[in-house]
Amino acid sequence: MLGNSGLATPPLVLGGNVFGWTADKETSFAVLDAFVAGGGTMIDTADVYSGWVPGNSGGESETIIGEWMKARGNRERVLIATKGGYYDGIGADALANAADASLRRLQTDRIDLYYTHKDDPAVAHEVYLGALDRLVRAGKVRAIGASQISAERLEQSLETSKANGLAAYGVLQTWYNLLERERYEGELRDVVVRHGLGMASFYSLASGYLTGKYRVRSDLGKSVRGGGVQAYFEGKGPEVLAALDEVAAELGATPAQAALAWTTAQPGVTAPIASATNVDQMAELLAASELRLSRDQIDRIDQASR
C-alpha cells in the first residue's frame, strides 16, 4: 500500500519526466507499454514536464501519457500521479485550475494521486488543503500527496486536515538517494513513519550516476542529463558505486537495481521513482522491484554512503 492513501503500487513508480524530452512520443509509448506488461501500475508526471525543453511549454509529458492511455484503452489498468503548483503556487484558484488542465491533457476524469509540487509557507494550510479537499469531493482526485515540503509544514498540514475534516496528505514525494540521504532521513522520515504515510523518492538514481553509466568525466557526454552528475565524482560517489558494483555482482544484478533495492528497503519508503528512455532500461528497472538485499549487503552499501 502507498501509505494510507488507499492506493497500492509495486515497489517501482515510472517517472514521466523524460516523456517529451529525452523520449519522443513513439519511444514513450514503447516504454509505457513495457512498464505495464512488466506489472507496473503507477506513472508519475507533473504539469511542468517537460517545459524546460526549448519549444515546449510544459504539460508535454501529461499529453503523451493521455494519448497513450486513449490509444491503448487502458485507463483502468494504471494509476496516474501528477503534480501542480510549481510555478503558479498553491493558492485555491491556482490548484483548481492546474488540476483541470492536467485532467484535459491526460484525457481522464480523475487523477489517482495529486501532489502539490512544492510547498509555499506563505499560503495557509487551510487554503491549499481546502482546495485539494474540494477536488477530492468533486471526484477529480482520489488521493493527495506533498512534494518538496519541510517536516514541520508536513506535520502542521496533517494536524490541519484532522482538525478541519479536510482531505489529508497520504504520500510524500521527496529527493532521496544514496548520495543525498539528508533530504529525507531525520525529521521528515520521522513524520512519514509516525503517520504511516507512503513515500515515493525521486532522483533515486542520482540523475543516472548510480547506474554506473558515468564512470569517468568523459562519460558525461553520453546523455543530455550528464551535466547533472558532475558533483558525484567527488566525495563518496566513487565509493558508493564500488559498493553497488560488489553487491550487484553477488546477486547477478546491475548497480541500478542494487541502488533501487537499497532505497526500497529504507524505513518509510514505498517505492522509488525511476525513468527510462528505452525498453531495455525499462526491463532493468522492473527487475529491480523483485530484488531483495541481505542485511549484510544493505549494511555494506550504507557504510559506503555515510
Q: Is 9 within 8 Å of 44 (Cβ atoms)?
A: no
- Coil, strand or helix at 233: helix
Q: Is 49 in the active site?
A: yes
- C-alpha to C-alpha distance for 200 and 265, rounded to whole angstroms: 12
What is 59-128 written as a DSSP string?
Answer: -HHHHHHHHHHHHHT-GGG-EEEEEE-TTT-S-HHHHHHHHHHHHHHHTSS-EEEEEESS--TTS-HHHH
Residue ranges of E strands in the chain? 13-15, 42-44, 79-84, 111-116, 141-147, 169-175, 198-202, 271-274
Q: Is 42 within 8 Å of 83 (Cβ atoms)?
A: no
| Diameter over CA atoms, the chain | 55
Choose, from 49, 115, 176, 214, the residue flagged as catalytic: 49
Grid coordinates of 79: 494509476
Neighbours of 141 (CB within 10 A): 23
The DSSP code for 231 is: G
- Coil, strand or helix at 186: coil
- C-alpha to C-alpha distance for 160 and 166, rounded to whole angstroms: 8
- C-alpha to C-alpha distance for 200 and 15, rounded to whole angstroms: 11
- C-alpha to C-alpha distance for 209 and 194, rounded to whole angstroms: 32
Active site (catalytic) residues? 49
